[in-house]
Amino acid sequence: GTAFVFLLSGPATNSATITMVAKFLGKRSAAIYLASIGIFSIAFGLLLDFIYVKMGIEATSIVGHASEILPDDMKMLFAILMLPLIANGIYHEMRE
């Protein structure tokens, strides 16, 4: 839940975003924006913790093991599908 809160609220509360909200919508809207980000981030983090407890999931036991979720055949398929994208990027980079 805690990591989710940071991932959710971090990009939304950077200084550039807050400055733009305050500039275009006003200081009151920026305050409401920040308060709603904080409240909903914490609420969803607590909800995620609740879901983990109810489902018996130990979040720390799966950290670092995300690569084991996909079968090896699927990893190979996605790697092969990425090759044309990588080649295209290299081609366009070298053309410039």
- For the full predicted model, state whether its pTM sits above 0.95: no
CB atoms within 10 A of CB 22: 16
d(CA 26, CA 3): 30
d(CA 35, CA 67): 36
What pLDDT, on a 0 to 100 scale, did the predictor assign at position 68?
66
Helix (H, G, I), strand (E, B) or coil at 5: helix
Helix (H, G, I), strand (E, B) or coil at 65: coil
Place of tokens 């979040």: 59
Place of tokens 């509360």: 13
Do 4 and 45 meet the contact criterion of CB atoms below 8 Å apart? yes
What pLDDT, on a 0 to 100 scale, did the predictor assign at position 75?
86
What pLDDT, on a 0 to 100 scale, did the predictor assign at position 63?
62
What pLDDT, on a 0 to 100 scale, did the predictor assign at position 12?
79
Low-confidence ranges of the chain (pLDDT < 70): 59-69
Domain spans of the chain, in order of start: 1-63, 66-96
What pLDDT, on a 0 to 100 scale, did the predictor assign at position 84?
95
Helix (H, G, I), strand (E, B) or coil at 58: coil
